[in-house]
C-alpha cells in the first residue's frame, strides 16, 4: 500500500487533492470573494494565470521530445481516437438515461469530461512506472493538449447547439487559441533559451500551476454555490457519480487493452495506449470551463472531472504497480 500511495503522490494525488476539496468547502462557506459582485476580480486574475501555466508548459516542451515519438502512428491514432471519440460516444450512448432538466445539466458536465484531452504529467509518470514506451507517452500527452483546444469546443458545440441558447464555436476556439495555444507556442520557441530554467525550477512552476487551478476551482464553485446549483445534489448522488466515473475508466482501460492485443502491440506500446488513452486532464477542464461556461454553471461542470481525476490516479497507480511487479518477476526468471 505504501508504494501505491507513493506512486499516487508522484502523479499528483497528494495534498493538492485535499486543497481542491478545501477550495470547494471554502466556496461553500464564503462564496462572496469569488462572485462577480466582489471588488477583487479573482475570476479575471485566474484567466491570466491560465496563459502563464501554458507558457511554462511550452517552455518545458522541447521539439526533440516531440520528434522522439513521431514514428508509431498506430499507437498515436489509438490514443487520440480513444480520448476524443470513444469517450464522447460512451457519454452520448447514456444520454437517454438523463431525462430531467437537472440530470441533463449533469450529463452535460459528464460529456464535457469525456471531450477533454489527456493528462500530461500523470500519464507519463504511470507509463514510466509500468515500464512502457515513455517517448510515445510524452508525444501523445503533449499533442493531446494541443488537439483538445479544437476538438473539445467542437464536441461541446455539437451538443450545446442542439439545446437552448447559442454556442459560438469560432469565438470559443479563438479565446482558447489566445489563452492556451499562443502561450504554448511561445514557450516552445523560447525552449532553447529558457528551457533549462523551466526544468531547473519545475518544482516551483508546479506549485504555481496548482495554485492557479485552485483559484479557478474556487471562483467557479463560488458562483455555483451562490446560485444554489448544488441544492439537489446529496452524498448519494455524488457517490453514484463517482462510481460511474470509475466504471468509465475501467471500461476504457479494458477496451484499449483488448484492442492493443488485436493490433499486436508490444507490451510497452500497450501500456502507453491504456494509460494515455484513459486519462482526462483536470488542468484543461478548469481552463476550458472558464471559456465554455459562464458564471454559476462552471462549478457544476467541474464536478465530474474532479472526481474522475482523483479516481483515475488511484486506479492507475495500482495498475502501474502491478505491471511493474510483473516485469520484475519476468526479469528475475530470465536471470535464473
| 193 pLDDT more than 80 | yes
Grid cell 510497452 in the structure block, residue: 268
Per domain, the residue ranges of the chain are 2-328
CB-based contact 143:124 (threshold 8 Å): no
How far apart (Å, rounded) are the C-alpha atoms in residues 101 and 98? 8
Please state which CATH number belongs to domain 2-328: 1.20.1530.20
How far apart (Å, rounded) are the C-alpha atoms in residues 321 and 318? 5
Q: Is 84 exposed, middle or buried (0-12, 13-18, 19+ CB in 10 A)?
A: buried
CB-based contact 86:252 (threshold 8 Å): yes
| Residues in Cβ contact with 247 at an 8 Å cutoff, skipping those fewer than 6 apart | none
Backbone angles phi, psi at 5, to 5 degrees: -65, -35
Which among 146, 149, 169 is positioned nearest to 157, based on CA atoms? Answer: 169
| 87 pLDDT more than 90 | yes
How far apart (Å, rounded) are the C-alpha atoms in residues 243 and 249? 10
| Residues in Cβ contact with 92 at an 8 Å cutoff, skipping those fewer than 6 apart | 111
269 to 55, 169, 253, 316: CA distances (angstroms)? 30, 35, 14, 16
Out of 34-48, 191-205, 227-241, give the one with best mean pLDDT.
191-205
Question: What is the pLDDT averaged over residues 41-62?
Answer: 79
Model pLDDT, residue 163: 54
Higher-confidence residue of 8 and 234: namely 234
CB-based contact 286:304 (threshold 8 Å): no
Question: What is the pLDDT averaged over residues 248-252?
Answer: 95
DSSP 93-141: HTGGG--SHHHHHHHHHHHHHHHSPPPSHHHHHHHHHTT--HHHHHHHH
Out of 56-65, 71-80, 210-219, give the one with best mean pLDDT.
71-80
Angle (nearest 5°) at CA 93 between 90 and 99 = 125
| 128 pLDDT more than 90 | no
Higher-confidence residue of 66 and 129: namely 129
Confidence of residue 86 (pLDDT cuts 50, 70, 90): very high
Q: What is the pTM assigned to this prediction?
A: 0.82
Angle (nearest 5°) at CA 39 between 33 and 43 = 60
| 130 pLDDT more than 80 | yes
Cell numbers describing residue 158: 455539437
How far apart (Å, rounded) are the C-alpha atoms in residues 160 and 60? 35
Amino acid at each position: 500500500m505504501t508504494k501505491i500511495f507513493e506512486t499516487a503522490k508522484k502523479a499528483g494525488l497528494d495534498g493538492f487533492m485535499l486543497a481542491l476539496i478545501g477550495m470547494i468547502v471554502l466556496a461553500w462557506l464564503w462564496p462572496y470573494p469569488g462572485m462577480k459582485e466582489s471588488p477583487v476580480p479573482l475570476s479575471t486574475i485566474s484567466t491570466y494565470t491560465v496563459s502563464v501555466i501554458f507558457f511554462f508548459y511550452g517552455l518545458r516542451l522541447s521539439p526533440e521530445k516531440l520528434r522522439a515519438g513521431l514514428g508509431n502512428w498506430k499507437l498515436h491514432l489509438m490514443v487520440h481516437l480513444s480520448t476524443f471519440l470513444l469517450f464522447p460516444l460512451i457519454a452520448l450512448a447514456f444520454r437517454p438515461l438523463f431525462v430531467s432538466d437537472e440530470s441533463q445539466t449533469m450529463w452535460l458536465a459528464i460529456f464535457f469530461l469525456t471531450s477533454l484531452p489527456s493528462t500530461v504529467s500523470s500519464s507519463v509518470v504511470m507509463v514510466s512506472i509500468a515500464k512502457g514506451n515513455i517517448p510515445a507517452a510524452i508525444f501523445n500527452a503533449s499533442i493531446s493538449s494541443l488537439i483538445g483546444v479544437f476538438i473539445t469546443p467542437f464536441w461541446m458545440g455539437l451538443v450545446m447547439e442542439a439545446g437552448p441558447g447559442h454556442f459560438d464555436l469560432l469565438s470559443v476556439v479563438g479565446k482558447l487559441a489566445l489563452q492556451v495555444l499562443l502561450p504554448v507556442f511561445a514557450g516552445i520557441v523560447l525552449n532553447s533559451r529558457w528551457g533549462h530554467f523551466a526544468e531547473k525550477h519545475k518544482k516551483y512552476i508546479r506549485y504555481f500551476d496548482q495554485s492557479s487551478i485552485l483559484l479557478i476551482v474556487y471562483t467557479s464553485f463560488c458562483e455555483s454555490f451562490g446560485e444554489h446549483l448544488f441544492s439537489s445534489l446529496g452524498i448519494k448522488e455524488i457517490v453514484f457519480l463517482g462510481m460511474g466515473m470509475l466504471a468509465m475508466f475501467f471500461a476504457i482501460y479494458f477496451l484499449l487493452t483488448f484492442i492493443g492485443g488485436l493490433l499486436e502491440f508490444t507490451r510497452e506500446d500497450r501500456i502507453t495506449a491504456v494509460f494515455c488513452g484513459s486519462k482526462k486532464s483536470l488542468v484543461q477542464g478548469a481552463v476550458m470551463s472558464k471559456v465554455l461556461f459562464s458564471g454559476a454553471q462552471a462549478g457544476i461542470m467541474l464536478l465530474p472531472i474532479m472526481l474522475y481525476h482523483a479516481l483515475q490516479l488511484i486506479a492507475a497507480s495500482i495498475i502501474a504497480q502491478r505491471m511493474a511487479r510483473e516485469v520484475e518477476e519476468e526479469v528475475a526468471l530470465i536471470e535464473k
